[in-house]
Amino acid sequence: MTEQRKIAIPADLLPSDGRFGSGPSRIVSSFVDDLASLGTSYLGTSHRRPRVRNVVASIREGLTSLYDLPDGYEVVLGVGGATSFWDAAAFGLIENRSAHFVCGEFSEKFASVVAGAPHLDDPVVIAAEYGSAPVPEEVAGVDATSYIHNETSTGVTAPFLRIGDSLVVVDGTSAAGVIPLDVRSFDAYYFSPQKALGSEGGLWLALVSPAAIERIESINASDRWIPPFLSLSGALSNSRKDQTYNTPALTTLYLLDRQIALTLADGGLESAFRTSSASAQHLYTWAESHAYASPFVEDKRFRSPTVVTIDIDASLSADSIAVALRDNGIVDVEGYRKLGRNQLRVATFPNIPTADVLALTACIDYVIEVM
C-alpha cells in the first residue's frame, strides 16, 4: 500500500477534542485529572472497603435515579462487560428457549452464544437486514426475548416491546445514559460503561425487574451447573453489598460514577438525549445534503441518535478520509470493520458537544476538497 499524502487541516476548523469513537468513547478529561489526584487514596485500595464500596453504592443509586426505577427493580453489576453478560444470561436468565431480534454484530453475538449452549434449546432468531431493525412480534414457546436498544455496529435504534409473557432482555450498551425508555417494558437492561456512558470497560451493569430476579433465583436453585464467575445470583448478592464477585477495575467504577452524576446534574436522560439527537441530526442532514455522502440507515425511524453511520460514495475512500482525519488528531470514525462498507461511523454521545460534531463535518469537507 502506498502511503497517503498527508493533509493538514487548518487549526481553526478542528474540534476541541478529536475523539469520536463509539467505544471506548470520549471520557470527560477533568474526571481523569481528578482520578489522578486520588492516586494514593482511592487507586490501589481494597474493593471490599468503604472507599470503593461507596462508589459502587453511588453508581447503583445514580442509575436508580436516572432510570427512575420502580420498587423491586435492582442494579446488578459484575466484571467482564456486556460480552460476559451474554454468557451469564445463557446460564442464569434463559430457562429453555429464547427469541432474538437481531440487526447487527452485537445482537447476533448474543444469539450465537445461546445457540452454542448445550443446555438450551435452539433459539428463535428474527433478523433484519443490516441498516434496518426487526419488527417485534410474538414468538411462541420462548421464556426470554432479546432485543437491542441501539445496534452499535450499524447505527440502528430498534424499537422493543413486551409481547407475551417471556422475560424481555435488552442490550443497552450504546444507549444507556442517553435514550429514554419505559422501564416497565424490560426485565433486564444490560450494558457496558465505555460507550454511551463514557467510562472505561471491563464491567457489565444490568437493571433487573422483580420477574428477572425471580428467574435468576429459580434457575440458581435448579440442578443446572453455572460457572461461579457467570452466576447472576452471585452477582445479585454481591451487588446488594455494593461489591462485585471478583476484583473490578477501580478506574472504571470511578469514571462511571462521575459520568452518571454529570448526566443527572445536566438534566438526566431527556437532556442527554436532546444533546445526542441534535448532533446526530446535524450529521444526517449533512450527509443528505452532500452528493458524496448518505445516511446508511434509510428509514428515519431507525436512525440512531448516538451512533451515526454514513455511507461514502464509491468515488471516494472512507478509509482514506479516516486516515487523513487521524493524521490531524481526529480518531475512530472508521466504519465498523465487519460491516465491510465504504462508511464512516461517528459517535454522538453527550460527552461530545454538538459544536465538535459541526467541526468534524467541516474537517471532512476540507479533507474531501483537497484530497
Decide whether 17 or 171 has the Cβ nearer to ligand PLP: 171
Q: How many residues bind ligand PLP (CB under 6 A)?
A: 13
**CB 151, min distance to ligand PLP, A:** 6
**CB 29, min distance to ligand PLP, A:** 22
- The residue number whose beta carbon is nearest to ligand PLP equals 81
User: Could you say which of 18, 81, 177, 335 contacts ligand PLP (CB under 6 A)?
Assistant: 81
Q: Which of 82, 83, 56 is nearest to 260 (CA)?
A: 56
Q: Which three cell numbers stand for residue 96?
A: 429453555
| Piece of the chain touching ligand PLP by CB under 6 A; list 34-42, 59-67, 81-89, 120-128 | 81-89
Q: Which of 120, 53, 48, 91 is nearest to 232 (CA)?
A: 91
DSSP strand E in the chain: where? 74-79, 98-102, 124-127, 144-148, 150-151, 156-157, 167-171, 188-191, 203-208, 293-295, 307-312, 343-347
Rounded to the nearest 10°, the torsion over CA 338, 334, 158, 303 is: -140
| Piece of the chain touching ligand PLP by CB under 6 A; list 166-174, 242-250, 332-340, 363-371 | 166-174
Could you count the other beta carbons within 10 Å of the beta carbon of residue 87?
18
Decide whether 148 or 330 has the Cβ nearer to ligand PLP: 148
| Piece of the chain touching ligand PLP by CB under 6 A; list 75-83, 162-170, 286-294, 338-346 | 75-83
Residue 294's DSSP bridge partners are 311
Q: Which three cell numbers stand for residue 255?
A: 469514571
| Pairing of β 343-347 and β 144-148 | unpaired
Segment 131 to 160, residues that bind ligand PLP, using CB under 6 A: 148, 152
User: Could you say which of 154, 192, 209, 309 contacts ligand PLP (CB under 6 A)?
Assistant: 192
Q: Which three cell numbers stand for residue 291?
A: 452528493
Decide whether 152 or 343 has the Cβ nearer to ligand PLP: 152
| Contact status, residue 68 vs residue 184, Cβ threshold 8 Å | no
**CB 140, min distance to ligand PLP, A:** 27
| Contact status, residue 126 vs residue 102, Cβ threshold 8 Å | yes
Does residue 130 interact with ligand PLP by CB under 6 A?
A: no
| Contact status, residue 197 vs residue 260, Cβ threshold 8 Å | yes
AA identity, residue 348: T
**CB 89, min distance to ligand PLP, A:** 12
**CB 98, min distance to ligand PLP, A:** 16
User: Could you say which of 25, 146, 173, 244 contacts ligand PLP (CB under 6 A)?
Assistant: 173
Segment 98 to 127, residues that bind ligand PLP, using CB under 6 A: 106
User: Could you say which of 82, 205, 212, 308 contacts ligand PLP (CB under 6 A)?
Assistant: 82
| Contact status, residue 338 vs residue 153, Cβ threshold 8 Å | yes
Scanning 41-175, the segments in alpha helix (DSSP H) are 50-66, 81-92, 105-116
Segment 9 to 48, residues that bind ligand PLP, using CB under 6 A: 23
**CB 102, min distance to ligand PLP, A:** 11
**CB 114, min distance to ligand PLP, A:** 14
Residues contributing to the site for ligand PLP (CB under 6 A)? 23, 81-83, 106, 148, 152, 171, 173-174, 192, 195, 201
